[in-house]
Structure 1
Amino acid sequence: MTSHPAGPRRAAVPRHPALAPRPARHLTRSRVALAATACLLAAGAPTAYATLAADVSSGPVLAPGRGAPYIETRLLFGTERPDGEAAVTDEEFMAFVDLEVTPGFPAGLTVRQGRGQWQDARGVIETERSYELTLLYPVSAAAASDRRIEEIRVDYRRAFGQEAVARVDDRTRVDF
């Protein structure tokens, strides 16, 4: 028997035609999503997860015709004050929301507490308690909402001595 550099050769075993190697195919997003869906379903995942996996690469998960076009704006508020004063308290922040945010967005909002990290103008990395405020509003109200959101950002910076309030906008569809 001759020696092969990678080790001894094995005798060829006939394969079932279904197991024969197939030519490589281009994997499109839909094929990848379909494969992910099949794996989730095979694993017994609920249908909602399968739908999410199938639509992850093609945009929001929606039933046809469900929801209206909206904009989701997230504002990120730090609480440490650069002048060394005590950090913005929960009571102060919620009073700010009640007075400055709710009148412009009475239909609803969400506030989450978190821990944030921010590099200030001097290059110092600050870690601090933070708040994330989420607002949803119809695309048709975008111009008026944008003005109110910018006022909120300016008012918070002034009221609590902040260098910035981050803003993240995403287009989405919403159904209440």
Structure 2
Amino acid sequence: MTISPRRPRYPALWAPGGYGRSSVRATRFGVGSTAVTAGVLAAVLAALTLLAGCAMSDPSADGRAVRPDHPRQSPSGQFTAYAEPGPDQNGVETWTVVVRGRAGEEVFRDDYAYSTRHGVLITWLTTEPHQLWVYSGDVAVSYVSPDSTGRWTKTAVSRDEIPSEITDLWKR
């Protein structure tokens, strides 16, 4: 005669090894090991973090942001903004802002290389034909435009002076 172990009244909660929390949880999900469950959970969290990071740091989703591989023409069509790769800063890539005229002549080159670690948004203000905005998450906010003589200059602004069009793009 063979004696079988007594099974509980609710077999869905029974798992080899006892009635502990981990065995109940593992059996409910059909997984034989809590290590596998933890691995799957870690992979899902990593994927969600990656997606959230892309959404927050990639304002180019609407096609307006200037990127190294994505120059953008000004609203007037007379100038094009470029984000050229700058020197690495402690292993972090940087971008340098450059504006060129229709013939390809350089009319402005920023003397600062913006770190991409905290995010950089470079975009034209749609309501101004020649106003390029640089929104840096770690440095400051400025815009580049021609002065009354036609010379392109950079003007730093405080956060409360930023047009809502630019802050809305940054928040995306």
Of Structure 1 and Structure 2, the greater helix share is in 1
Q: Which has the higher contact order (CA 8 A, sep 6+)?
A: 1
| TM-score, structure 1 as length reference | 0.26
Q: TM-score, normalised by structure 2?
A: 0.26
